[in-house]
Amino acid sequence: MSVLLAALLLAGCAKESTDAYWLQGAAFSWEHFNHRVTHLEWAVDDQAPVAAIIGGTSTTGVSASLPDTCDPDTCGELPFTDSSDVALSWVSATSQRVVFARGSIDLVADAGGVSGTLTVPLPRKAKGVPVALIAGLALDTGYALSGGDACYNPAYGWHPQHIAAVLDTPTLADDRLSVEVPVQVTFQAGNSLEEMRQCIDDVNEQAQVPFRIDVVVAVTPDATQSAAVQDSDTYSYGDGPANPDPQPELAVSPSLGLDLASPVVGWSALDWRFHVDDPDDRGAYLRSLSFVADPDIGVASGQATNYSPLTQLTDFDYAFDGVVVGLDMSGGSAEGGTSTGTLPADLDDQGLAVVHSLDW
């Protein structure tokens, strides 16, 4: 066999590389106070990491528009402006052995959870085990109440009790050219228990919140592993509101324990609950929300706080359940980084959240 013919045969057998970007962690923390949740967006693709955080009129400075038939004393808003400190940890992977692809699904969540199936086409036939990773999460409360119009405008945000995005076990199609990913999203709003916000408490059970979940699928002939992550904490009120007890970051010990030669990780499930088992069905004002996974030090965690001197109304507790998925990237390459920024809570001319790009 000639050298030229051998080279041509080898070139014909070579597989085209595929690549993908996904999240390893994300976080936000309001600079001044805790707030409701109106818009939350963390995502990354080959263009840029992006984020947008809105927490109601107390972050945008927008004055509420109230129908004449509604009582302003029980439908109160406190226009103010605030900014959030945001961090996104991301990874970019390239491989000839692993087949990567990306897709997105839109679902409207409620308190009971809503499910759908995302079908992600693959660029070529794949062989191996499929896994699914969260590459982006976006939610926005500006959606109609299930019971129709009311005095409260849901675009001003909710006090969440439960926020979740879960990717169930993916399936490689028989023709090996696509992957199906079951997806479930949940958003449950709770009571404010404030006289000035009676309008919210009258309708919070009617909250419907659109989610967009960006998903990276990876079909790999190499090893994969998953690890459940559970965190929780309880913070007392102290001498609040003037001097509430501090809410330090939960100390996390290395416990990820993935037995992979060259691990790269992402998340297939993110699930936060706030004011768990509260007898009055209270929802949360959030000061911060985060999740992170780092295979180099074996740590994974999800956390939240509501610490906010002068405006904090209660003690706080949360519980987090997540699933980290690890890939063995010995047959490819991966690199990651953390992008940070301080973002204003900006709305465009249509009242929609302005999404900000972060530097790599």
Task: Please provide the DSSP assignment of 174-205 as one string.
Answer: TTSSEEEEEEEEEEEE-B---GGGHHHHHHGG
SS3 content of the chain, % helix, strand, coil (to 5): 10, 50, 40
Residue 38 is given by DSSP the state S
Q: How confident is the model at residue 12 (pLDDT cuts 50, 70, 90)?
A: very low
pLDDT for the residue 253? 84
On average, the pLDDT of the chain sits at: 95
| Tokens 């972060």 -> residue | 358
Q: How confident is the model at residue 9 (pLDDT cuts 50, 70, 90)?
A: very low
Element (DSSP H or E) covering residue 9: helix 3-13
Please tell me the pTM assigned to this model.
0.95
pLDDT for the residue 2? 53
Residues 123-142: tens digit of each pLDDT: 999 999 999 999 999 999 99
Residues 316-355: tens digit of each pLDDT: 999 999 999 999 999 899 999 999 999 999 999 999 999 9
Residues 185-223: tens digit of each pLDDT: 999 999 999 999 999 999 999 999 999 999 999 999 999
Residue whose C-alpha is closest to residue 20's, from 291, 327, 295: 327
- Residues 343, 345, 346: CA angle, nearest 5 degrees: 105
Does position 1 have pLDDT exceeding 80, yes or no?
no
pLDDT for the residue 14? 62
| Tokens 């660029």 -> residue | 123
Domain boundaries, the chain: 91-334
State which amino acid sits at residue 200.
I
